[in-house]
Amino acid sequence: MVRAGADIAVIGMSCRFPGVPGLTEFWRLLVNGESTVATFPEHRLSGSTVSSHPDAATLTTGSFLDAIDGFDAAFFGTGGAEAAAMDPTQRLGLELAWEAVEDARIPATALAGREVDVVVSTAPSGYDLLRKLSGSDRDDHYAALGSSGALIANRISSLLDVRGMSFCADSGQSSSLVALALACDRIRSGAVELAIAGGVHLITDPEAGISLANLGALSPDGRCFTFDERANGFVRGEGGAIVVLKRLDLAVADGDHIYAVVRGWGVASGGASSRMPDPSPSGQAAATRTALERAAVDFGDVDYVEAHGTGTRLGDPAELAGLREVFRQTGRTRPLAVGSVKTNVGHLEPAAGIVGFVKTALCVDRGQLVPSLNFRSPNPAVADFARDFEVARVTQPWPGQPGRPRRAGVSAFGMGGTTAHVILEQAPGQPPTPTAARTAGVPWVLSARSPEALRAQAGRLREFVAADPSLSAADVAYSLVATRTTFAHRAVVLGDGREAALTGLDLVAGGQSAARAVRGVVDGPVGPTVFVFPGQGSQWQGMGRQLYAESEVFARAIDDCARAFQPWLDWSLVDVVTGAESAASLDRIDVIQPALFAMMVSLARVWRSLGVVPDAVVGHSQGEIAAAYDCGAISLDDAARIVSVRSQAMAELTGCGGMTAVAASPEWVGDRLARWSGRLSVAAVNGPSSVVISGEGTALDEFAELAGAEGVRVRRVKVDLAGHSHYLEPLRETLLDAIADVTSRESAVRFYSTVTGGPFDTRGLDSAHWYANLRSMVRFGEVVEQLMAVPGTVFVEVSPHPVLQLAMAETADALAASPVLVNTLHRDDAGLLKVYGSLAELHVRGLPVDWSAACGLRPARRIGLPTYPFQRQRYWLTADDAATSPGAPAPADGVRPDSEASALGLVCAEAAAMLSTTKPGLTPAVLTARSAQTFRDLGFDSAMVVGLRNRLAGITGLRLSATVAFTYPTPQALAAHLFALVEPPKPDPPAEPAELDDRADDELYALIDRGYL
């Protein structure tokens, strides 16, 4: 067969074995030549009779997980009843699929809606027997969903919301490698670009292995002696592995980490060449040849084969005979290295092939051959073993030839004769990505579905980073953002060095918060977002120095402002912003206002670069000019003209009056200003207890004395003119003439004016408006009240120091509102990390932000990170439940109610029995008195309602539908229905099904309502 189409890259892998939670531990196990084989955990043997079997020691020796009853149902969105009903293989498959996608460095949300195949394999775990013994098969709606092996793939597809082929492959012990081959076929054919393949295997009761023991397949010594003279069978193993496959050219283009490349694959059957279950060397050779032909690779260039290698008396000689047939057909002369992972983790049966595949991919990726255990002397049934084969007994360098890529084959054989073989090749070399050089710290963004998982996530990451000093903080930051799904429980760690970041992780792991370790939970919708631009007062010397050095976005914006102001200023704007020694003085109003404008609009550009875009803008006094520019209503050149003319005109009035901030209500202030009529007036109302007054200096002093006597705090504003008062009226003509030709346009962002106290059409931002902005009272508090009417509104104060945040917080308190309030810089913390801290506050509350710019984006690399820390709880069915379950129906005795009252008595008696463990106070008499209430209101869940149906059907002998207690949802209605089935129906119309008022209480009610049962 001629090789055609694309090669396939292995970009993600996951695995689980006893004491081996993932790839790192698996590789350590392989390199160290260790085994997970032990005895079946005693605590898992409850209810098993295996100990009485003659082969008990053989059956209970193997590679068994310590527990298989745990599951993070909340993470996967399943209720407790459904989780308990799910076969543990489904649960393990979900976990491994998630971990494989994370290992592929793809956020799961990026797969949603895409054509991605899911092909996995499994075998009966024995959980269905527990289901039957527990009696839950009679009452459990979820049994059909929990018991089907096919649904393991469907659940993964649903979890990731992928729309490609989704099915469970079953060819016996070769199933998982056949699944991988089918996935590769689909990718190479062009049907899909991405696929998930693998297999899982679990054993609820080791007694289920009796048939294998009777067949002579299990090793009485409890070891897989693969290729060895002691070969006498295999040991069973639990666990699984899943891989993510992608078209190679796309993987290279996307910069994916590629473990190995799948060059070719073959699937064949032995047909009638051997008697089932005897292996067929010719069938195995056929699959290997097909794989080689599809790969366009000569067998002589294959360095290693991961054999099926069960260590059975017939299996090993037959497998090596098949390989020798390929030797003869291809002319290979050099010995072939062979090994089997079954010597490490046992035989995982349907998942065996994918486990061998993952082992081999790791070896190819890392250029090492790991030992195959329990090999002492070749199987005597294989003549001249050393002529053609060699088994690694210690970890050693890859046995390939210089100048060509490492290559390996992987085999898996089914008991029924289906054989699969895959050819793997070393990934193509990719140019190294330089690590991003940064002058500021980077944020590490974490999230989880629960607070416990968030703490565990932080702990895992801390351990991971601490163990590898070579890790780049920027690479960690970028990978956390680019490769992980974002959940509701969130944390952001900010550090300007490695130790600071580790300290932050410690805080999060301990459930604590700090300025550099921000935690929060998304508990509802957030937004809209409002940018708030304050007026004068937030300025300070060198306010932009640090950010100008750390942020290219900020620096470019400041430079743009400097160019726009150049025609109007005789001093350097950049020098003032950065606090240069030669800078003009910030004591001058004609310096303060241009500098503040430049700071505010440049900070706004930084926010926008981080994904925070306003839905509305509001400006306080001169901040309204910045708001108008930021929302696109006026050009930067026009804004620079307005600010320059305004501030230079005001400079001519310096020394004429002043302003005072008063911590009192507008009503209190207004009442007391009457005595200074014409001398003092209200300049701004910022909040319910935040007012600024303006006027003559002596009058301001007198007012301060009065306020102090009444216990009201006042503070003189550092300005020497009476802003927003009639004292500025002499500037009217000068200002109107100088900016008469300023133009404005309609903005897509809502503009709130503190001149008019509400929404404003930006096409009206003419010279008259800008004079009113200078002269009129600032109605900031009024605007903020309107904006806070929308729950969840986010207010971002865009300034070098917060001056309006307290006033906004007071307004929120007065309104009993809960907006999100953040600032941008602070005079004591004015670097990029401060901006990131505020961004973190928004992120942890649920506002969508773009962390990529903060995390360096390119050239930072996507690196492997610890996978999600599932918070498992026990969900399990036990045989003991049958004797104690209140849902167990009574034996049928054919008792029929002879009246509607007796039917009600029967229903209430059986309902009371069902509720006896959860609500013992609900006796039959109490239930009779409350018989008009719904079963749900009385405390029934869906399984109990079905259990009641079973009890009533068993007692009366009547055929009752599974939904009878949903259709007749009260004891009274159900009793009437039961009696109607005994007696001819009355002429009255049948009761209508009651409307279910709270489906969220139990999703089974929704299933019923949709007609599934």
In a domain, 823, yes or no: no
Query: What's the CATH number where 474 sits?
Result: 3.30.70.3290
Amino acid 157: pLDDT: 97
Are 88 and 201 in the same domain?
A: yes
Q: Which two tokens stand for residue 1002?
A: 């139990």
Are 648 and 663 in the same domain?
A: no
d(CA 645, CA 654): 15
Segment (H or E) for 1008: helix 1003-1009
In a domain, 430, yes or no: no
Instruction: Spell out the alpha helix ranges (H) of 957-1002.
Output: 964-967, 971-982
Residue numbers of the domain that contains 918: 886-1009
Are 894 and 804 in the same domain?
A: no
Segment (H or E) for 732: helix 732-738
d(CA 520, CA 550): 27
Are 280 and 395 in the same domain?
A: yes
Max alpha carbon distance in the chain (Å)? 117
Task: Provide the 3-class DSSP secondary structure of residue 539.
Answer: coil
- Angle, CA 374 vertex, CA 368 and CA 377 arms, to 5°: 100
867: left (phi > 0), else alpha (psi -120 to 50), else beta?
beta
Closest CA to 200 of 357, 17, 413: 17
CB 486 within 8 A of CB 446: no
Contact residues for 543 (Cβ-Cβ < 8 A; gap 6+): 577, 579, 595, 599, 800, 801, 825, 827, 830
d(CA 889, CA 979): 20
d(CA 515, CA 854): 17
CB 737 within 8 A of CB 620: no
- Long-range contacts: 911-916, Cβ < 8 Å, 24+? 911/935, 911/938, 911/940, 911/948, 911/971, 913/886, 913/951, 914/886, 914/887, 914/940, 914/944, 914/947, 914/948, 914/951, 915/886, 915/939, 915/940, 915/944, 916/886
Are 892 and 952 in the same domain?
A: yes
In a domain, 825, yes or no: no
Amino acid 110: pLDDT: 96
Query: What's the CATH number where 734 sits?
Result: 3.40.366.10
422 φ, ψ (degrees, to nearest 5): -130, 140
Are 203 and 82 in the same domain?
A: yes
In a domain, 799, yes or no: yes
Beta pairing, strands 70-71 & 239-247? unpaired
Q: Which residues pair with 874 in a beta bridge?
A: 70
In a domain, 290, yes or no: yes
C-alpha 86: how far from its chain's center? 23
Closest CA to 283 of 413, 452, 135: 413
d(CA 661, CA 298): 86
Are 62 and 183 in the same domain?
A: yes
DSSP string of 833-881, one letter each residue: HHHHHHHHHHHHHT-----TTTTT-TT-------------EE----TTH
Are 679 and 804 in the same domain?
A: no
In a domain, 309, yes or no: yes
Domain end marker among 860, 877, 894: 877
Domain end marker among 795, 815, 835: 815
Domain end marker among 700, 719, 738: 719
Query: What's the CATH number where 904 sits?
Result: 1.10.1200.10
Are 734 and 859 in the same domain?
A: no
d(CA 147, CA 461): 36
CB 661 within 8 A of CB 715: yes
Are 364 and 408 in the same domain?
A: yes
Beta pairing, strands 873-874 & 70-71? antiparallel
In a domain, 88, yes or no: yes
764: left (phi > 0), else alpha (psi -120 to 50), else beta?
alpha
Amino acid 132: pLDDT: 79
Are 890 and 797 in the same domain?
A: no
pTM of the model: 0.85
Are 110 and 35 in the same domain?
A: yes
Q: Which residues of the chain have pLDDT under 70?
A: 1-5, 136-141, 144, 146, 148, 277, 431-440, 856-859, 879-895, 916-918, 942-943, 946, 950, 961-963, 983-1013
In a domain, 43, yes or no: yes
Number of domains in the chain: 5
Amino acid 888: pLDDT: 37
Q: Which residues pair with 121 in a beta bridge?
A: 199
Amino acid 879: pLDDT: 61
- Give the pLDDT confidence of 569-602 residue by residue, as tens digits: 999 999 999 999 999 999 999 999 999 999 999 9
Residue reference for tokens 């604590």:
512
